[in-house]
Structure 1
Amino acid sequence: MSREQLPVELVDADGLPLGSTTVTHAHTAPGLLHRAFSVLLFDADGRLLLQQRAEAKTRFPLRWANACCGHPAPTKDVVTEAAQRLDEELGLGSIALTPVGVYVYRALDPVTERVEHEYDHVLVGTVAREAPRPDPAEVAALRWADPDDVRRAIEAEPWSYAPWLAGVLAAWEAAAVEPGDR
């Protein structure tokens, strides 16, 4: 089964479950609000891991984003599902993840005309020594960057970054969780 046919959990504005649909249907205009997660990974120096989304992605391909994004299956634990996705995309299944907040957003991809309308759980983890092993079907490139440099780059070239990245970074900052905090 393709990832586009997997189920996602529809939610209301407070994150309460309303039912489910497929990834494709949830991202078809006008877009249905559904549960998602975004993982921010840091190294020991406080640098942020960015992934350039693969060209084959149906939403915002080739844009720079946080380390990993995805959708937990309906009724499943967000942290467990995010750790599994992190392993699938980057080969980093042993990273402890800490929830730091939620970011709700809606964004239309002008290229694919798909819509992101997500109740996005923001999770943070630290990469100790593991070297990411990205799946080329999911990830075009990886790079480490200072979070302040990323914020400035998003302001200067928003078209180069996934539209959720600024909000995900803001949710992390609002939680005042330093990389490595548990």
Structure 2
Amino acid sequence: MIETARVTLRPWRDDDIEPFAAICSDPEVMAHLGGPPSYAEVEAMIERQHVVQAAQGHCFWAVERRDDGALLGFCGLRIGGHAGTPVSDELEIGWRLARHAWGQGYAREAAIASIAWGWAHTDRHRIVAWTVPANTASWGLMRRIGMTAAPMLDFNHPGFPVGHPLGRHIVYAIDRPARD
């Protein structure tokens, strides 16, 4: 669907469930996301991506390494974050990669391609991303791809009680480039 020098972003397939479940079973991968999900929760997450893709024309796509076809995780775009928050109707970019793929530029490459796709295929004036303040790798990537802090959109995640270490979320945004 989207090809870069080293990765392909594509719709999810049934044979992605097992490798993605393995990625999500890594406590370090899930440290800022509430911990490893069950296999059934991974299946449901992939099914939600099918639904989002059908409804919106995009989702958090599977990221596959081109040279060997290995599933590295996901990256992509979706509309609608958490109801009742300032990001509920925003176009979000998100990613999650296997720990063995960290630090090699795959997430940056996939994120830049996703943002370019978003500008080419949506009419949104900005793309946002969010994470917890402790997830320095994630917000560091947000900065490296040109996003800037958008504190007016920061929110408390409705899935965590107030004061929980994963409750407060910081938001970064990138505006659509000016058209010539």
TM-score by length of 2: 0.31
Larger fraction in strand: 1
